Amino acid sequence: MKNYFITGTDTDVGKSLIACALIQAFAERGCRAAPMKPIAAGTMNINGVDMNIDVAALRDVSGSKAALRDINPYCFSEPIAPHLAAQHENVVVEIGVIRAAFDRLKADADTVLVEGAGGFLVPLSLTQSMAEIPMALGLEVILVVGMRLGVLNHALLTVEAIRSRGLKLGGWVANTAVAGATMLAYDENHATLERIIGAPLLGTVPYDALSSNALERARRASHHLRMDTLLD
């Protein structure tokens, strides 16, 4: 099976929620999807371990028993741009380290879902960006589009950045991540995105005001996803 890079039109648009929902949807179809978050910035104490909250959610939902350093090779404590967080901790992000961890995860899964941090071109250093990761690992890209005013531009910029690097956009998800901010002309914006993105729409996920439990929320979101094109 192919492996996927989950990117978004911005930070906080629902990459982790959709990654968790995809893991659930794969599992419901008998497919073991291993999560990876190669670079995370921002930690909190979770059951006595300093961990990034996305990593904790991805681990919980997948039930992954993989080593934490493989799921999340680079974990920085400050919730700031990754290259700055790395600099502050005197760490240089190496794609080779990420590739080795990815290969170990892949050996024990049907597919690996790799969540980026922030948007597609977030820097890893002054010379590298997050885009190096799907290129180095041969990943198809899934774009989470945060449905709010301004997203047409963010979506088009991201799609152009993906395709101009020779990467395949395997699909996109329209997600409403913010409460009470229903996008005006939602249907027309959605239809415009469908026309101009020109890749499979994997699902349209509404705002979910129910429990904040990651597993429950991922399960509900997974019911809005269609998986046929990802399982080919």
Ligand X SMILES: Nc1ncnc2c1ncn2[C@@H]1O[C@H](COP(=O)(O)OP(=O)(O)OP(=O)(O)O)[C@@H](O)[C@H]1O
- Does 10 contact Mg ion by CB under 5 A? no
Q: Is 37 a catalytic residue?
A: yes
- Does 134 contact ligand X by CB under 6 A? no
Compute the 3-state secondary structure of the chain and give helix, strand, coil in percent, each to the nearest 5.
Answer: 40, 20, 40
Site string for Mg ion, 173-202 (x = CB under 5 A): ------------------------------
Q: To the nearest 10°, report the CA torsion of 114, 119, 122, 124.
A: -10
- Which option in Mg ion, ligand X, none does residue 137 bind, with CB closer than 5 to 8 A by kind? none
- Does 54 contact Mg ion by CB under 5 A? yes
- Which option in ligand X, Mg ion, none does residue 70 bind, with CB closer than 5 to 8 A by kind? none
Q: How far apart are CA 130 and CA 124, in angstroms?
A: 6
172 close to 199: Cβ distance less than 8 angstroms: yes
Q: Pick the closer one to ligand X by CB: 51 or 117.
A: 117
Q: How far is the CB of 227 from ligand X (least distance, A)?
A: 18
Token pair of 145 as six digits: 């589009």
Token pair of 1 as six digits: 């099976």
Q: Pick the closer one to ligand X by CB: 11 or 108.
A: 11
- Does 8 contact ligand X by CB under 6 A? yes
Antiparallel, parallel or unpaired: β 44-46 and 169-175: unpaired
Neighbours of 63 (CB within 10 A): 10
List active site positions.
37
* Contact positions vs ligand X (CB under 6 A): 8, 11-17, 54, 117-118, 175-177, 205, 207-208
